[in-house]
């Protein structure tokens, strides 16, 4: 899952003015999104490599303190009768109206995250019931505590974001994976590519992605064909995530409390 685009804050005389991904939010100060986590069921998704999806984030919390929570609703395995590999066509995605959804759910803001493409071969995650948002079917998949600088341009690029995670995910033997190595030698494996910045970015383009990225000093990009299956999880319910400057998203293979979250070092 991924974070981006502008949020600006300012207080008026009697209310807060908030801008989330270009949408003006006024005058609510505190709001909550539907809590589908209570009825979510662990679900497995297979054959997901290069599968197109989108996410709608309903943002609640406190607009004054910026204590914000994004409830993430994902399209995976839905809306795909026309194309089994595409759960979020351009036509359907264009009809998603953030202002209308903000009013419908009474939240502080709505963030459109996508289109994206899963790089996993499979993943298991808690999934809520199907909801329809402007004709697009989605299901709750996660909640993300948003950092104070959420939405600031470049705030998430090549920086570690710690997220709560109950999901597990994996890549298959023989699959090509795309990796960032940070200056400390920690490998970050791409979980999802993005067409948010580069509208034409294709799977084949990822093989030479290093020529497109503005890598900070000490960072490197590489690809690898897996010689064995690779599993990635969390440690004590926490995972480490980052983004590159094209908003592709990566999971770290890291160690903590004597544990490793990856089944092997890629």
pLDDT tens for 102-123 read 999 999 999 999 999 999 999 9
Give the Cα separation of 160 and 252 in Å (integer): 9
55-83 burial: b if 16+ Cβ within 10 Å, else e: bbbbbbbebeeeebbbbbbbbbbbbbeee
Q: How distant is the alpha carbon of residue 39 from its chain centre?
A: 21
pLDDT tens for 4-39 read 433 322 222 222 333 444 333 444 578 888 889 999
Sign of CA dihedral 198, 202, 204, 207: positive
pLDDT tens for 174-220 read 999 999 999 999 999 999 999 999 999 999 999 999 999 999 999 99
pLDDT tens for 34-59 read 889 999 999 999 999 999 999 999 99
Instruction: Return the pLDDT at 155.
Output: 87
Q: What percent of the chain has pLDDT over 70?
A: 89
Instruction: Return the pLDDT at 19.
Output: 40
- Residue boundaries of the structural domains of the chain: 26-147, 158-259
Average of per-residue pLDDT values in the chain = 89
Across residues 74-92, what is the average pLDDT? Answer: 97
Q: Which of 17, 9, 104 is nearest to 56 (CA)?
A: 104
**Cβ distance 103 to 110 under 8 Å?**
no
Across residues 229-234, what is the average pLDDT? Answer: 97
Give the Cα separation of 213 and 105 in Å (integer): 37
**Cβ distance 9 to 63 under 8 Å?**
yes
pLDDT tens for 121-162 read 999 999 999 999 999 999 999 988 888 777 788 888 999 988
Burial class (CB in 10 A: 0-12, 13-18, 19+), 210: middle
Q: Is the pLDDT of residue 230 over 80?
A: yes
Q: What percent of the chain has pLDDT over 90?
A: 77
Q: Which of 104, 96, 107, 97 is nearest to 25 (CA)?
A: 107
219-229 burial: b if 16+ Cβ within 10 Å, else e: bebeeeebeee
Comparing 96 with 33, the larger pLDDT belongs to: 96
């Amino acid at each position: 899952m991924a974070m981006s685009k502008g949020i600006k804050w300012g207080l008026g005389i009697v209310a807060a003015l908030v801008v989330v991904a270009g949408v003006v939010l006024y005058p609510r100060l505190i709001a909550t999104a539907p809590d589908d986590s209570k009825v979510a069921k662990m679900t497995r998704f297979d054959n997901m490599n290069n599968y197109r999806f989108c996410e709608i984030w309903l943002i609640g919390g406190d607009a004054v303190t910026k204590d914000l929570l994004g409830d993430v609703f994902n399209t995976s395995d839905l809306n795909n009768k026309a194309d089994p590999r595409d759960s979020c066509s351009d036509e359907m995605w264009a009809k998603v109206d953030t202002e209308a959804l903000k009013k419908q759910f009474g939240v502080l803001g709505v963030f459109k995250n996508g289109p994206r493409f899963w790089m996993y071969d499979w993943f298991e995650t808690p999934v809520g019931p199907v909801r329809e948002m402007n004709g697009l079917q989605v299901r709750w998949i996660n909640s993300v505590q948003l950092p104070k600088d959420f939405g600031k341009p470049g705030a998430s690029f090549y920086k570690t974001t710690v997220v709560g995670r109950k999901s597990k995910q994996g890549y298959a033997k023989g699959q090509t994976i795309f990796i960032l190595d940070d200056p400390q030698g920690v490998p970050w494996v791409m979980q999802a590519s993005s067409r948010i910045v580069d509208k034409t970015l294709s799977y084949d383009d990822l093989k030479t992605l290093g020529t497109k990225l503005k890598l900070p000093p000490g960072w490197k990009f590489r690809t690898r064909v897996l010689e064995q299956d690779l599993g990635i999880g969390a440690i004590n319910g926490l995972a480490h995530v980052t983004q590159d400057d094209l908003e592709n998203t990566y999971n770290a293979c890291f160690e903590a409390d004597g544990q490793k979250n990856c089944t092997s070092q890629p």
